[in-house]
Amino acid sequence: MNSHLEILAILSSAVLIVWVFRRLKLPAILAYLVAGMLVGEHGLNLAQDQVDYDHFAELGIVFLLFTLGLEFSLPRLMAMRHLVLAVGSLQVGISLLIFMVASMYFGLSFEASFVVGSILALSSTAIVIRQLSESGAMKRKSGQLSVAILLFQDVAVVPLLIIIPMLALDDGTSMTWALTVAIFKGVVVVTLLLFIGKWLLPKVFNIVASVRTDELFVLTTLLVTLLASALTQWFGLSMALGAFLAGMMLGESEYKHQLEADIRPYRDILLGLFFVTVGMKLDVGLLLSSPLDLLALMLSFMLIKVMVVRVLASRAGESTKDAWAAGLMLAQMGEFGFVLIALANQVALLPSDVSSMLLGAGVISMAITPYMIDHARSWSLFLSQEKSPQTTDLEHLPDNKDLNDHVIICGFGRVGQTVSRFLKQESIDFVAIDIDPLRTRKAREAGENVLFGSSRQTELLNAAHLSQAKLVVIAFGEDKQSAEVVQKVRTLSPKVPILVRTRNDDHLEMLHDAGANEVVPESLEGSLMLVSQVLSLTGVPFSRIMRCVQAERKNHYNHLHGFFQGEHTDMSSQAIDRIEFAHAILINTNSYGCGRTIGSLKLDKRRVNVVALKRAGNEIELPAENTLLQAQDTLIVRGKPRRVERAECFVQEGR
């Protein structure tokens, strides 16, 4: 099979399997690994020139380390230094040592055992951070603990990239001498790159940015990344180390976000190719012949990591439930484990059967990670079997509180407290529920009716006298959690009005469908306040302004949803299904819609709204359905991107 057909086979399998995995809400990394297994020598054997792909795939790791360097924040590391050093460093060290000793017990050499220990000690930064962000658990103590450990693991990758190739040196060469030389080279390279990054790169990017050409900016970014990686390779160190240093240097610059956006498409494609090449090396036959060994390996290393994190976090002063939750979140093998497997295979440190076992166990552990993170909190509460003595008294209101026709505020942060102040001014009783024990205790000491715990708990909602409440306000602004609270409240009290605060209008429909009566998006309310000030300063009477604002609220902000997309609009697969765009359709003499009424086109059946019609320099807002469309009219519509695209096709071509 020639190289063209091989590339076609790899791309076809990758596209199909990534699509299937994303529909199943599984990480794309796993899809690339499975695609590699399918086309590799142990699968359909469609791709044979493995070495050629490895060279390109290595660039994926280079770009991954570059973006890791961009996101690496020294101030953030210093702010969390207690957890990073007390828990993160010990987690890596102790886990590495345990796995290393176990590997040597099963007959592996010292060098191979060190590699296995390094691989299994690391967790998946990409999957864990993403899941924590989506679930809103980043703000919890267990989430912060997980991030602190992942920060140290990211730092630990860099020396491991230096040490592992050193382990492959001949016995005649002194390991100590080789490491000393490598460290000396590392110091020289780091000093050189930091000097270049401090004095030269900002000037280069200022000159490039002044030209205002996107292509030149992208090319310069690629050039800087590859030059830095080539420099470290020339010194006999890992290419990925140079890319990490280059990213770290540019992470503090004003171009950080643009650099990250420019490099992301190249990184994602080449990183996908890297994981495909890793999957090619996975011997499926070996895994199928010994599934119990594979399962035993996976369960063993996950259990050990959970216990190590749990013990270390508890000794660092964290609560038992947070320690368990962090351990459950970090039990999987990480994407850098695959990088180290590939590196160890390049220098012939790992036997092929061990590599395949590690790859198989790693793939399965990452596949179950989203499920484990979603349930980490409930499992940790079950495992800890404790009710903290500091918070048990906060889960009940004082006995003398007789509440009726009160307001329940879910989330007692800045917004929740602001709502409570206005309620007190009007002598309206309220009960707040908050998940922060310190905030709850401080508020209770000040005489506020605040309960500690999750607003999703039936016991707490009953303790807040939900059956007698006249309104529930959900004020914490995390849409996924808000929807769960709405559903829980609605099952307990079908008729109570529910008001939800959200940051933008991305999930208005979801929250209304869950049972919310009113949803207040901060971004749109901010727009209304700004419009009120603009109209007031331009002389519009206050009564008229208030009528416009009230009408917009009554209409569920209907005119404020659609917006014209820009270069930096998020068009990712996650965003495109929830955003709405405003779009202009120019009617010409050949258009299907020319000479027809707006109503006859039935665009509302296509779930697209007509916002306005521009004709001869005049704009008609919400034109009547019997309005005839004429040549040179501009019809402005609003809807989700794919619906708008199909609607334009219908208006122009009639199909």
Q: What pLDDT does residue 567 have?
A: 46
Q: What pLDDT does residue 76 have?
A: 60
| Residue of 242, 250, 208, 281 whose CA lies nearest to 59 | 242
Assigned superfamily of 573-653: Regulator of K+ conductance, C-terminal domain (3.30.70.1450)
Sorted by where each begins, the domain ranges of the chain are: 1-48, 56-382, 392-516, 573-653
Lookup result for tokens 């779930």: 607
Q: How far apart are CA 481 and CA 237, in angstroms?
A: 46
Q: What pLDDT does residue 389 have?
A: 43
CA 239 and chain centroid, separation = 27
Q: How far apart are CA 276 and CA 24, in angstroms?
A: 19
Q: How far apart are CA 401 and CA 291, in angstroms?
A: 60
Q: Which helix (H) or strand (E) element contains residue 620?
A: strand 618-621
Looking at domain 56-382, its CATH architecture is: Up-down Bundle (1.20)
Instruction: Please give the DSSP secondary-structure letter assigned to residue 138.
Output: G
Q: Do 378 and 321 meet the contact criterion of CB atoms below 8 Å apart?
A: no
Q: Which two tokens stand for residue 573?
A: 């697969």
- By residue count, the chain amounts to 655
Looking at domain 392-516, its CATH architecture is: 3-Layer(aba) Sandwich (3.40)
Q: What pLDDT does residue 579 have?
A: 66
C-alpha distances out from residue 43 to 3, 37, 233, 367, 525, Å: 18, 6, 33, 20, 56
C-alpha distances out from residue 244 to 80, 164, 538, 566, 610, Å: 21, 17, 53, 31, 50
Q: Do 132 and 138 meet the contact criterion of CB atoms below 8 Å apart?
A: yes
Q: How far apart are CA 597 and CA 627, in angstroms?
A: 5
Provide block-wise average pLDDT over 10 residues at a time, the chain (655 residues): 70 84 76 79 64 64 74 63 79 91 88 90 78 66 80 77 74 62 75 76 78 77 83 74 76 69 76 76 73 88 92 85 88 83 82 84 81 82 64 56 84 88 87 85 83 84 89 86 89 91 77 86 78 83 79 60 50 56 83 88 85 82 84 85 85 83
Q: How far apart are CA 594 and CA 431, in angstroms?
A: 59
The alpha carbon dihedral of 587, 590, 591, 592 has a sign of positive
> Measured in Å, how far apart are the chain's first and last C-alpha atoms?
42
